[in-house]
Amino acid sequence: MRLSAFTVVDQFPSGVEGGRDRYGEVLRLAEACEQGGLGTLWVAEHHFQPGGTDPAPAVLLAAASMRTQRLRLGVLVSVLPFHNPIEVAEQYAMVDQLSGGRLNFGTGSGYIPLELQGFNVDPSTKREKFDAALATILSAWRGEAIRVEGPFGGTVRLNVRPLQSPHPPLWVAVQRREALPFVARRGANVALVPYATVQSIGELGEEIAEFRRHLPVGRSAEVAVALHLYAGAHPAEARAALQRYLDARLSTQSSFYEAKVRQDPRHASGATIEASGFALIGSAGEVAERLEAFRRIGVDEVLGIFDFGGLPLDQVVGSVRALGPLVR
């Protein structure tokens, strides 16, 4: 089981010092991940609200590629209904080129109402837009001719393609259990965010088993799971930061997490998330031992959310460096 890092590049809520350079902090996180032996740095795409301030992940990943040599670099996710798919294909082909073939390409259809409104996306059409965009991107990366529809359209081919052939590894983020069979039949890897969607590690294990049951015969795919991780000497500070993070996710109308909290308000509490096993706070040895539960249910990659709720950067980096050698 690999350990990686995942950041939503959030700006911090009230009660945390302002003026911090979040993009610089993400680049320092990338360096710490490489030094600590982690597998990938994943960054989210978000718009219009402080719960996520990376509207252009390709730019941030390109910068991270200049600070690292081995670390894989992933977007989780590129929100395909928001963008022209040819532009997405070009931009991430550039990232793969600049990084020497280290891109992981995660995709999704969007879930925050404000973001869907900002890009004029009807939620009832986002699945159709996602499917069409992903097909176009993969075709473009294979070097196929792409027909651009419209009165001024024509046929084009990319003049910059990814180094990885036929394309970078593909991930799809899933927050609805009923979407798992569709992703599995596509043969893509899947990324899950259990603190926002499921009640227990046992329920998460059921989802993973269901995903694998629907894979095509002879195909394999990986499962990545995002967890809040802290390994250090200040657990009370980490628990306060976790609560700030959860409060911020609710204030951004993170729809799946909101639905979970409406069903059971206890899940608005960091203590409940920690008790469910989806936030691991303690010494490096304690956190590494508790991560074994995820290996046992079939998780291939843990996406460690290390920089949650305004934790000081030195503690974020310290957790990465402490856990990296222990999780292999």
Q: Where are the alpha helices (DSSP H) in the chain?
A: 22-36, 57-67, 85-98, 113-118, 126-141, 180-186, 201-213, 235-251, 255-263, 270-275, 284-296, 313-323
Residue whose C-alpha is closest to residue 328's, from 68, 36, 102: 36
Of 304, 317, 251, 326, the residue nearest 8 (C-alpha):
304
- Give the pair of three-digit tokens for residue 256: 């799946």
Alpha-carbon separation of residue 7 from 29, 127, 131, 158 (angstroms): 9, 25, 25, 30
CATH number of the domain that 196 lies in? 3.20.20.30
Task: Kindly indicate the confidence band of residue 213, based on its pLDDT and cuts at 50, 70 and 90.
Answer: very high
Q: What is the pLDDT of residue 12?
A: 75
pTM exceeding the 0.85 threshold for the entire prediction: yes
- Asked whether the beta carbons of 313 and 23 are under 8 A apart, the reply is no
Task: Please give the full DSSP string across 135-153, using - where no structure is assigned.
Answer: HHHHHHHTT--EE--STT-
**For residue 75, what is the enclosing H or E element?**
strand 72-79
Angstrom distance (rounded) from CA 291 to CA 160: 40
Sign of CA dihedral 241, 245, 247, 251: positive
Q: What is the pLDDT of residues 50-100, one digit of tens each?
A: 889 999 999 999 999 999 999 999 999 999 999 999 999 999 999 999 999
Reported as a pLDDT band with limits 50, 70 and 90, residue 248 is confident
Which residues 6+ apart lie within 8 Å of 218 measured at CB?
none
CA distance 229 to 289: 12
Residue 48 pLDDT exceeds 70: yes
Q: Give yes or no for residue 38 having a pLDDT over 80.
A: yes
Q: What is the pLDDT of residues 249-295, one digit of tens each?
A: 888 777 788 889 999 899 999 999 999 999 999 999 999 999 999 99
Question: In this model, does residue 323 exceed pLDDT 90?
Answer: yes
The total number of structural domains in the chain stands at: 1
- The predicted-structure confidence for 186-202, as pLDDT tens digits, reads as follows 999 999 999 999 999 99
Tell me what pLDDT residue 325 has.
Answer: 94
Question: What pLDDT was estimated at residue 249?
Answer: 86
The CA distance from 79 to 55, in Å, is: 10
pLDDT of residue 23: 96
Q: Which two tokens stand for residue 114?
A: 């404000």
What tokens appear for 137 in the block?
């991107």
Predicted confidence at residue 295, as pLDDT, reads: 98
Q: Give 152-209 pLDDT, tens digit per residue.
A: 999 999 999 999 999 999 999 999 999 999 999 999 999 999 999 999 999 999 999 9
CA distances to 11, 150, 270, 308, 319 from 249, rounded to whole Å, are 11, 39, 12, 11, 22
On the question of pLDDT at 14 being above 70, the answer is: no
CA distances from 63 to 1, 18, 36, 170, 199 (A): 27, 23, 19, 21, 37
In which band, very low, low, confident or very high, does the pLDDT at 16 lie, cut at 50, 70 and 90?
A: low
Question: In terms of residue numbers, what domain contains 241?
Answer: 2-326
Q: What confidence score (pLDDT) does residue 15 get?
A: 59
Reply yes or no: is the peptide bond before residue 88 cis, omega within 30 of 0: no
Q: Give the pLDDT confidence of 124-142 residue by residue, as tens digits.
A: 999 999 999 999 999 999 9
Closest CA to 305 of 273, 264, 268, 328: 273
Residue type, 117: Q
Q: Which two tokens stand for residue 196?
A: 């926002």
pLDDT of residue 255: 75
Residue 297, pLDDT above cutoff 90: yes
